[in-house]
Structure 1
Amino acid sequence: MIAEWKKIEKKQFASVYLIIGTEDYIINETKKRLVANILDAEDTDFNYANFDLDETAIEQVIEEAETIPFFGDRRLIIAANPSFVTTEKAKSKIEHRTARLEDYLNEPVDYSILVIIARVEKLDERKKLTKLLKKQATVIDAKRPNEAELKKWLQEISNTNDFQMDSVATDRLIELTGGQLTTVMNELDKLMLYKLEERIIRVSDVEGLVVRSLEQNIFLLLDKMIALDISGALSIYYDLLKQKEEPIKILALIASQFRLLTQIKLLEKQGFSQQQVAQKLKVHPFRVKIGARQAKSFSYQELTATLERLAEMDYEMKTGYGDKAQKLEWFLFSLQDQKQKQVK
Structure 2
Amino acid sequence: MPVYLYWGEDDFAIANSVKKLQAQVLDPAWLQFNYHKIAADSPQAIIEGLNQAMTPVFGMGERLVWLADTNLCHQKPTEEILSELKRTLEVIPDTAHLLLTTDKKLDKRLGSTKLIQKVAQVKDFSLIPPWKSDLIAAQVKQVAQSKKLKLTPKAIATLAESVGNDTRQLWNELEKLKIYQGDSDRVLDENTVSALVLCNTQNSLKLAAAIKDGDIDRSLGLVTDLINRNEPALKIVATLVGQFRIWTIVKLMQSTGEKDNKVIATAAGINNPNRLYFINQEISSVSTQQLLAVSPLLLELEYSLKQGAEALAILQTKIIELCLVFTSQTQV
Give the match for residue 98 of structure 2: 114
Q: Quickly say closer, same or farther: Cα 1:261–1:156, change in 2 above 3 A.
A: closer
Radius of gyration: which is bigger?
Answer: 1
Pair 1:173 & 2:159 matched: yes
Displacement of 1:113 in angstroms is 0.9
Note the alpha carbon deviations across 1:166-222, whole angstroms, 9 max, x for none: 221111111111232332232222222222333422111221111133x65343244
- Confirm whether residue 70 of structure 1 aligns to residue 54 of structure 2: no
Mapped partners of 2:88, 2:62: distance in 1:
16
- Paired position in structure 2 for 1:60: 48
Taking a change above 3 Å as real, the CA distance of residues 122 and 258 of structure 1, as seen in their structure-2 partners, is closer
Tell me the matched-pair count.
Answer: 290
Call closer, same or farther: CA 1:191–1:104 in 2, change over 3 Å.
same
The gaps in structure 1 that reach 5 residues or longer are 1-13, 279-288, 312-323
The SS at the match of 1:97 is: helix
Write the distance in 2 (CA, Å) between the matches of 1:115 and 1:189.
28
Aligned Cα root-mean-square deviation (Å): 4.9
Q: Alpha carbons of 1:297 and 1:169: their partners in 2 closer, same or farther (altered >3 Å)?
A: farther
Q: 1:98 aligns with which of 72, 82, 88?
A: 82
TM-score, L = length of structure 1:
0.63
Match of 1:161 in 2: 147
Q: Quote the offset at 1:115 in angstroms.
A: 0.6
TM-score normalised to structure 2 length: 0.65
Choose the corresponding residue for 1:24, options 4, 8, 11. 11
- Alpha-carbon deviations, 1:263-285, whole Å to 9, x = none? 9638963789777678xxxxxxx
- For residue 17 of structure 1, what is the amino acid of its counterpart? Y
Task: Give the secondary structure class of the aligned counterpart of 1:122.
Answer: coil
Partner of 1:198: 184
Query: Which of 146, 166, 184 is residue 170 of structure 2 equivalent to?
Result: 184
Give the conservation status (yes or no) of the 8 Å contact 2:143–2:171: no
Q: Which residue type is aligned with residue 36 of structure 1?
A: A
Distance 2:91 2:58 in 1: 21
Q: Unaligned stretches of 5+ in structure 2?
A: 257-262, 270-275, 301-312
The CA deviation string for residues 90-148 of structure 1, in whole angstroms up to 9 with x for no partner, is: 6xx97642222222222211332111224333341563x43442232222222334544
Q: Distance in 2 between matches of 1:118 and 1:234?
A: 38
What are the residue-to-residue correspondences of 1:1-344 with 2, within 5 Å? 15-57=2-44, 58-84=46-72, 86=73, 88-89=74-75, 96-125=80-109, 127=111, 129-145=112-128, 146-199=132-185, 200-213=187-200, 216-223=202-209, 236=222, 243=228, 257=240, 261=244, 265=248, 269=252, 297-300=285-288
C-alpha distance 150-47 of structure 1, shift in aligned 2 (>3 A): same
In structure 2, what residue type is equivalent to 1:105? Answer: L
- Structure-1 separation of matches of 2:156 and 2:64: 36
Structure 2 Cα separation of the partners of residues 258 and 154 of structure 1: 22
Contact 1:59 1:98 survives alignment (8 Å): no
